A and B are shown apart, each in its own frame.
With several copies, the nearest count.
Chain A
Amino acid sequence: MPDYEIQELMICRIAAEMTAEGEHITLMGSFTPLAYAAYMLGKLTHASDAWLAGYNAVGMPAIELSFTGAEPAAYKAATSRASFTENGHLFHLGTRGLLECVSSAQIDGTTAINLSAIGPYDRPKVRLPGGAGAPEVVQNYRKLVAYFSKHDRRTLVPVVDFATGRRTPVGREQRDALGMATNGPVLIVTPLAVLRKDDDEAPFAIESAHPGVDPETIVAQTGFELTVPTQVPTTTEPTGAQLALLRERIDPRGTARFDFLSGAERMSYLEQILDAEWRRAEALVAGSAEVAS
């Protein structure tokens, strides 16, 4: 069993959701390392035919993760361009969206996510960024994965302070009846476990506990009701091949670890990565200056 970090296990679990499904497509916006890593891992392994779009670049191939490079890389070998509004109608508001990975400050047992405010909405304790297109996307994509770098009762809460978005209904039959895209449950992927909700009337259940995590810890750290199966499976660990792909090709500078750090450590880690990104670009400038002289 290879050594791995927790975000690597999470990436591999989410990547399993990344499937090639005909006319369905996954669109990436702002650079969110863990989600990007999962998409790329899927695309480079079992889901090579999956459609990806990044920013206005549609049909993009897999790219290396980078804070400054993700956006330009998306354009380099993409097969088309489309306005966000046009893509919005096709994927986000239509029925062709495949896999949405969303992270939020809070989530509750109804699938409500809070990206708006901690505390009263009108005079919040913490004003959060807002949901961008998540309120529509969580509702319309075939698959929804909510992921979190912490699994605690402040994140997985009894009731969100504010529902920026929510998937409703969740159940496949109810969604089919409304002509809404669906292909599976709502998943929550955290550093402790994978939770899943298949049914509007039933709570989230533990789908699997990560190696070394007992179900009691998961329940204790979760603010909403959980169904605990009698046999709790263990989350599949990353394979050596997956880890090699992640570490050597997809995310060689380890951007996905960033969200799992906090405080000063977090900022100094970011600075290190950015230093490396600067040096790589600067070397290209020096290289062409050399050629020119």
Chain B
Amino acid sequence: MTLDKTTSLEQLPDLVPPQATVALGGAWFANHPMAAVRELIRAGRDDVHAVALLGSIDVDLLIGAGALSRLTFGMVTLEAFGLSVNLRHAVQEGRLPIAEIPALSLQVALEAGGRSVPFLPLRGPVGSDLVALHPEVFGTATSSFGEEAMIVRALRPDVAIVHALRCDSAGNAQFDGTYGQDPELAKAADRVIVTCEEIVDRAEIAREPHMTKIPGFLVDAVIEAPFGAHPCSHVPRYGLDAWTIHSYQEAALAGGETYAAHVEQLRSESESEYRERVIGEHRGRVLEALVEAAVVLEEE
């Protein structure tokens, strides 16, 4: 196979059409495609409809930098560091249209999209006020057997962006630690962009075929982005940079010029300049060591 889908991070914004619905991989503080998020901000995007199942700093930063025109989400939180400041402000001030969809229902809606079926039944969030609020997502189906089931309607994002551990040039993307629902995002989206810690040969992929969670035929573009989830974790390569997230949240809470300067800094530098400035050699090693430092209490 001679397929070469590799491109550079700088090209990524061109692969995201205007007003595109973009599903972002990762979950909570794990494995969001942060290099891609930064690049969309560098490109000055203000038209992205983000789909974030379990978002954190990815979504907060996109909102803060004015990159989103709309947000579909299950949760956005900075966990121990507090609420998502930019989500709060944008929604409380009526500046950002949102669709809050319970995350498992959103997963199944995306799964339906990936299967090319119009809807899927599920044991859904009966009792949630979000059901009545989103008649475009939740419905019921009556079968010829006489059963009635709650359903979610298929969702097909224009683009999915996920961050993998490694990937070959044909798009076979491997993960070892957290991969959330990234495979289902890739199946559902029309265009799939994989950023990865490193691009490797096909032979290296074939040595661990069980780690390929997204097969290459689903993938359109492959971009090498070391520390591409930073400051989120990418287990087992590196842990969460909680300290950088803490500083970020302080800037977000300060708001105003402090936060504007933070965004401006990101815009003014390339991704490799970002790595040099924020991560550097020593911090990079410590972040890697967080994985080794984590303690299992019983190997059983």
Contacts of A40 in B (CB 8 A): 297
Q: Is B28 an interface residue (CB 8 A)?
A: yes
Total count of chain A residues near the partner, CB < 8 A: 94
Q: Which of B11-19, B207-215, B265-273 contacts A (4 or more CB under 8 A)?
A: B207-215
**Complex contacts, A23 vs chain B, CB 8 Å:** 217-218
Q: Is the CB of B297 within 8 A of A71?
A: no
Q: Considering the chains assembled together, what is the distance between the CA atoms of A133 and B24 in angstroms?
A: 17
Q: Write out the residue numbers on chain A whose beta carbons fall within 8 Å of the beta carbon of B84.
A: 129
A127 and B297 form a contact (CB under 8 A): no
Q: How many A-B residue pairs have CB under 8 A?
A: 312
In the complex the two chains form, is A249's CB within 8 Å of B297's CB? yes
Determine if A78 and B206 form an interchain contact, defined as CB atoms under 8 angstroms apart: yes
CA distance A92 to B233 in the complex (A): 25
Which residues of chain A from 58 to 104 have any CB-CB distance to chain B below 8 Å in the complex?
58-59, 61-64, 66-73, 75-85, 88-90, 92-96
Looking at the assembled complex, report how far the CB atom of B209 sits from the nearest CB atom of chain A, in whole angstroms: 5
Contact B179 A69 (CB under 8 A): no
Residues of A within 8 A of B77 (CB): 30, 129-130
Given A124-B92, A130-B74, A132-B54, are A67 and B240 also a contact pair (CB < 8 Å)? yes
User: A281 on the interface (CB 8 Å rule)?
Assistant: yes
- Docked Cα-Cα span, A256 to B298, in Å, equals 20
Task: Tell me the B84-110 residues at the A interface (CB within 8 Å).
Answer: 84, 87-88, 91-92, 94, 100, 102-105, 107-108, 110
What's the minimum C-beta distance from A21 to chain B, rounded to whole angstroms? Answer: 10
Contact of B116 among A71, A78, A179 (CB under 8 A): A179
Segment from A49-57, A207-215, A226-234 that makes contact with B? A49-57
Residues of B participating in the A interface, judged by any CB pair closer than 8 Å: 1-3, 27-30, 53-54, 73-77, 79-81, 83-84, 87-88, 91-92, 94, 100, 102-105, 107-108, 110-111, 114-116, 122-130, 133, 168, 170, 172, 175-184, 187, 202-203, 205-206, 209-210, 212-213, 215-218, 233, 235-236, 239-240, 242-243, 246, 282, 285-287, 289-300
Those 6 A-B pairs whose CB atoms lie nearest each other, nearest first: A166-B127, A135-B125, A80-B212, A69-B294, A129-B77, A64-B295
